[in-house]
Structure formats: C-alpha cells, structure tokens
C-alpha cells in the first residue's frame, strides 16, 4: 500500500475513534432527514435544504481544521515525517479521508433531499438538481482544503473558528454580489435554495463547481507550503 493510502487509513481511523466521522455523516444525513420529515412548499423545502447543507459544510471545514491542528499539536505529524512520510503526502491523505466521508454524507442527503422536493412538486427537473448538488460537492472539497490550510498554521480552536468565519463570509459575499455568476465559492447553496420547477441555472452551477475546484486546488497548495514551514 502506498504512503498516501496508509495516511488515509490512519486519518479515517482517527476520525472514527474520535466520533468525528459520525459527526460529519450525521450532519449531512440529518439535513436530508429533516427536510424529508418536515414537508413544506417547494421554495421553503429548498431553502431549508440549502441552509442545512451550508451549515454542514462549515462543520466539515471546522473538522478538517481541528483535525490537522490536533495532529500537529500531539506530534503525530512529526512522527510520520521522521519515518519518511512527506508532508504533502500527509496532507493529501487527510484531504482524501475527510473529503470521502463528507461526500458520502452529502450523497445520502442529496437522495433524501430529492425525495422531499419531488414529493411536494411534480414538475421539478432532476438535471438542475444534480448539477447544483455537484457544485455543492465541489464546495465541500474547497471547505476541506480551507480547513486544512487553517489547521496547518493555527491551533485547533482558532483554526476551527477561522474556518467557519471565512466560509460563512464567502457565502455572504455570494449573496451580497448577485452578479457573480457562480464564481464565488458558496454560490451553489444559494442556487439550491432558489431552485424551482422548470429549467435551472445550469451554466451558473457548472461555473460554481469549477470555481470551487480551482479554489480547493489553490488552498491545498497553500496548505502544503504552510505545513512545510510549520513546526511539527
């Protein structure tokens, strides 16, 4: 098994034994379950769903930030590095671990959200919903990368809080700048909340997905530089 695979397994194990894995899954699945069990008109359902997914994504960022900062504080990063595990490999392993868990929870929430929305609307189209959900998945990956960057330079509590604040600020910026065309990370939540019957904003959703994937790559690169200079 490659070093990245070993780090990913260790990361998943750490998330499991500290119940953070369960927390991530429950945060997303709980959103889907809530909208499914509390039927409402389509606009209200989608707004609740989008708001819940946004909150769960902020929790993902905070969890990633806390995890990396905690690994640094307890010397586990240094222990692996002294055994020839590159810092970039460590970072990639944690990105994959947190990302896979979060996306699994998002997929389950997406199914529940569709069932809830389709039960109150007979003309809701599946394609716009799926594309916007894919944009939210890209946003989740960007949130993981943001958390890893914060956790690479700050302590656990500070990193978690900063990740939440920055993530919420991006969503607020997307809301306050209506002409951004989906280029501001966090726009996918607003698109989901505004989803109605008929054609959806496919172009804006694809742009939101691309922008978030680009942001995730840039944040990971910055996190690699930060972790390379951090005291382990």
pLDDT in tens, the chain (232 residues): 577 777 888 888 988 998 999 999 999 999 999 998 888 888 899 999 999 999 999 999 999 999 999 988 887 777 777 777 788 888 899 999 999 999 999 999 999 999 988 887 777 888 889 999 999 999 999 999 999 999 999 889 999 999 999 999 988 888 877 656 667 888 899 989 888 876 666 888 898 899 999 999 999 999 999 888 766 6
Contact call for residues 134 and 208 (beta carbons, < 8 A): no
pLDDT of 200 reads 64
Q: What whole-number distance in Å separates Cα of residue 163 and Cα of residue 58?
A: 7
pLDDT of 178 reads 67
pLDDT of 76 reads 77
> pTM surpassing 0.85?
yes
Range of the domain at 191: 3-229
* Domain total in the chain: 1
231, exposed or middle or buried, with CB in 10 Å at 0-12, 13-18, 19+?
exposed
Nearest 5°: the CA angle 131, 62, 11 is 90
């Amino acid at each position: 098994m490659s070093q990245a695979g070993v780090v990913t397994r260790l990361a998943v194990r750490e998330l499991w034994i500290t119940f953070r894995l369960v927390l991530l899954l429950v945060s997303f699945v709980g959103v889907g379950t809530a909208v499914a069990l509390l039927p409402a008109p389509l606009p209200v359902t989608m707004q609740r769903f989008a708001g819940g997914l946004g909150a769960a994504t902020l929790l993902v960022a905070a969890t990633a930030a806390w995890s990396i900062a905690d690994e640094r504080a307890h010397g586990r990063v240094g222990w692996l590095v002294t055994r020839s595990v590159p810092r970039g490999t460590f970072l990639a392993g944690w990105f994959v671990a947190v990302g896979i868990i979060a996306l699994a929870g998002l997929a389950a929430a997406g199914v529940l959200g569709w069932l809830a929305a389709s039960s109150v609307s007979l003309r809701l189209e599946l394609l716009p919903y799926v594309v916007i959900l894919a944009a939210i998945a890209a946003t989740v990956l960007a949130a993981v990368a943001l958390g890893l960057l914060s956790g690479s330079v700050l302590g656990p509590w500070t990193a978690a809080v900063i990740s939440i604040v920055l993530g919420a600020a991006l969503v607020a910026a997307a809301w306050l700048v209506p002409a951004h065309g989906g280029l501001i990370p966090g726009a996918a939540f607003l698109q989901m909340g505004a989803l109605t019957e008929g054609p959806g904003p496919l172009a804006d959703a694809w742009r939101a997905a691309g922008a978030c994937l680009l942001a995730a790559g840039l944040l990971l690169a910055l996190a690699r530089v930060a972790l390379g200079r951090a005291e382990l």
